[in-house]
């Protein structure tokens, strides 16, 4: 069963779903805060942060929210791992009129899915007739983590050696700081938190995620979106994003770690932009 709400515009769907779903999470918190501090013991501001993070997690990873086209991708991925039926929970607080309008988009998704299944069955039958015994039941996209590789940092070979070294050094320092924060919050050993570990595999639920995000914001004096832990769900990818977006700011907030590694803040400063997004002109 998946919480479901579809529309024709992604932003409009998220806007309509956010408030009622957060209230839904607030009233069912005993079901999802297991093993973490009781949200009722938090200040209203802190509880709001936790609920916002919980919403982002459910919205991006555990529901059918969006347009028929984006939800079709989710269904195809579920089919790839063996799911053959989905019950859609549509009554979780969204206005009745909006829910009824959303049924039109949900019907489109249902018919599209049936059409793809029929095509797959015909292909399977055709292959069987021609003596082929192994055939994919449905063309599905490759499973990928949320976020695009176009957003990831590239080190370009055209950069001077000293500049390239500073860039890598800064990324390593930021990644170590992020790893240390995750270690403190989760009580996992730092060596157990490898750069590519998905946060969900580390047992990071919404409460722990909110605490991690809060600690990162305090460490680097930043205000960050609650969705970042799901858009960049590993220490490596989150660190790359932070360096790409806040490079000069981060340098000024790593004095202790820079001293520890015998690197001065000035050593990390580069005379020109050091990171480029894939597909962008090199610095």
pLDDT values of the chain reduced to their tens digit, one per residue, 283 residues: 899 999 888 899 999 999 999 988 888 765 555 555 566 677 788 888 888 888 988 888 889 999 888 898 888 888 888 888 889 999 889 999 999 988 888 888 887 787 777 766 666 666 666 555 444 443 433 223 333 333 334 444 444 555 567 778 888 899 999 999 999 998 888 888 887 888 878 888 777 888 898 899 999 999 988 778 877 888 999 999 998 889 888 887 774 544 444 444 445 554 444 444 344 444 3
What domain count does the chain have? 2
Q: Same domain for 123 and 216?
A: no
Closest to 3 measured CA to CA, from 106, 76, 73, 104: 106
Q: Same domain for 92 and 169?
A: no
- Chosen domain end from 129, 164, 188: 129
Residue 134, in any domain of the structure: no
Residue 37, in any domain of the structure: yes
Residue range of the domain that includes 107? 2-129
Provide the whole-model pTM.
Answer: 0.49
**Would you tell me how many other CB atoms lie within 10 Å of the CB of residue 175?**
20
Q: Which two tokens stand for residue 72?
A: 């079709």
Q: Same domain for 47 and 120?
A: yes
Q: Same domain for 166 and 62?
A: no
């Amino acid at each position: 069963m998946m919480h479901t709400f579809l529309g024709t515009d992604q932003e409009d769907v998220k806007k309509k779903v956010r408030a009622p779903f957060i209230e839904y999470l607030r009233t069912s918190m005993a079901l999802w805060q297991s093993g973490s501090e009781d949200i009722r013991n938090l200040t209203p501001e802190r509880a709001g942060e936790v609920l916002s993070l919980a919403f982002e997690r459910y919205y991006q990873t555990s529901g059918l929210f969006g347009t028929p086209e984006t939800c079709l991708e989710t269904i195809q991925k579920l089919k790839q791992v063996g799911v053959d039926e989905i019950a859609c929970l549509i009554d979780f607080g969204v206005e009745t009129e909006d829910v009824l309008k959303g049924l039109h988009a949900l019907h489109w998704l249902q018919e599209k899915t049936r059409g793809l299944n029929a095509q797959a069955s015909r292909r399977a039958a055709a292959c069987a007739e021609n003596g082929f015994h192994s055939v994919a039941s449905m063309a599905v996209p490759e499973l990928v983590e949320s976020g695009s590789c176009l957003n990831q940092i590239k080190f370009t070979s055209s950069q001077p050696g000293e500049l390239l070294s500073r860039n890598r050094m800064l990324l390593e320092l930021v990644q170590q700081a992020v790893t240390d924060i995750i270690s403190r919050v989760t009580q996992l050993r730092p060596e157990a938190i490898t750069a590519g570990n998905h946060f969900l595999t580390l047992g990071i639920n919404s409460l722990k995620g909110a605490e991690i995000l809060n600690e990162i914001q305090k460490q680097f004096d930043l205000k960050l979106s609650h969705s970042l832990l799901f858009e960049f769900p590993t220490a490596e990818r989150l660190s790359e994003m932070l360096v790409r977006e806040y490079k000069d700011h981060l340098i000024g907030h790593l004095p202790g770690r820079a001293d520890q590694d015998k690197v001065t803040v000035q050593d990390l400063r580069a005379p020109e932009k050091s990171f480029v997004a894939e597909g962008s002109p090199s610095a």
